Amino acid sequence: MSKKLVSVALLLAFVVGSATAVQTNAQLVQDALPQITAWRRDLHQHPELSNREVRTAKLVADELKKLGYEVRTGIAHNGVVGVLKGGKPGPKLAIRADMDALPVTEQVDLPFASKATGEYLGKSVGVMHACGHDAHTAMTLGLAVIFAKLRAELPGELMLIFQPAEEGAPAGEEGGAPLMVKEGVFKDFKPDAVFGMHVQSTLPVGVVAVRAGGAMASSDTFRIVVHGRQSHGAMPWQGIDPIVTAAEIVTSAQTIVSRQLNISKDPAVVTFGIFNGGQRFNIVPETTELQGTIRAFDEGMRKQALASLKNIAEHVAAANGATVETQIPLGDSNPVNSNDPALTVRVRTSLESTLGKMHVIESPRWMASEDFPQLALSVPAPSVYFFVGATPAGTDPATAPTNHSPKFFLDEGALDIGTRAMLQAGLDYLGYHGD
């Protein structure tokens, strides 16, 4: 046989082998899917708020131990980590799933709908997996099952991170990715890459979206307290009105994005979500409180927005004879969730090989934020985070209830797609080809 024919034969064998591996991986997911679905429904029916994921953490830890993973618990309160060492040398990969639910009362008619309640800001509230973290946890447990089956031929090492409090720790508490890092989640395992995924209502089931660079915005919260002087509402000239002053701060702050930031470069958002002042219609109060969020994709623009808001608050207050107490930013901030360009190319190739090119699209930038990037930045290691469509076929994703809505609905077809996508990305990164 000529050298040319040998080369063609080898190439054909590689292509056929790769296709066979993808088919085998898809079958592995199909075999695990009933259990993944059962886990998801159980978690959906028993959601737990941030830093309160006790039942969820126990379920995860118990399953990982059954599979032979090295398990650590109690990281950042309820975080669970499972490490699996493959039978061959290779790189180290971390895959992260979040576990917490939201203070939302479910309005979806499901046989496994949540009836759970919890305490949030001192009030009894409904609790719901309104952002799909139940799916993330179930899919990643499914991955744990599959990776354990392949252990003998698996190159490298795998860490599965089940993170609490992605939605934010309760007031006065630490939590989430920052606390996991602080408590040494990577003390004994330094990943070469970190992967994450999120189900998304704006995409139809069957579609996965990924983009290089900034995929999700940075986020900062802020708090501004305006101090005035109380007076009777009939004689406001005897006081200093913090409500009017706060209203002027809100109005003036709209110029930060519209007139001060170069939004032709990157988008940014300044949003006020709390305006709290006064207790009676005819009394000018002593104080008024503002809280909100700043989102950006560029660090320079982020810093400019924070500085501009502080400047506006102080000068508007002074012009009205009031004073301000500012916490800008307030608490932990989330950096831009930025996908490493070179690694994104590799991951996208993996996604296309298992789902088909037509089912993998470039994700638009999302102004929502995540604490996921803090994990990779702490190592540091390149990371990739992609989105999995959750809206049923026949429903316009543009009109579907969004993540965090009490009517958020996950088509369980997303469990198959998301598990297949992450499995293929993980196996390809580790260098496993079904041999």
- Which residues are known catalytic residues? 100, 166
Cβ neighbours for 404, distance < 8 A, ≥ 6 positions apart:
102, 104, 130, 131
DSSP string, 280-333: STTEE-SEEEEEEEEEESSHHHHHHHHHHHHHHHHHHHHHTT-EEEEESS-S--
- The candidate with the shortest Cα–Cα distance to 225, out of 346, 96, 147, 313, is 313
CA distance 106 to 236: 45
Instruction: Give the single-character DSSP code of 136.
Output: H
Question: Measured between alpha carbons, how far is residue 283 from residues 129, 150, 234, 242 in Å?
Answer: 41, 70, 8, 11
CA 274 from centroid of its chain's CA atoms? 23
Cβ neighbours for 8, distance < 8 A, ≥ 6 positions apart:
none
CA distance 3 to 264: 55
Q: Residue 392, Cβ neighbours under 10 Å: how many?
A: 16
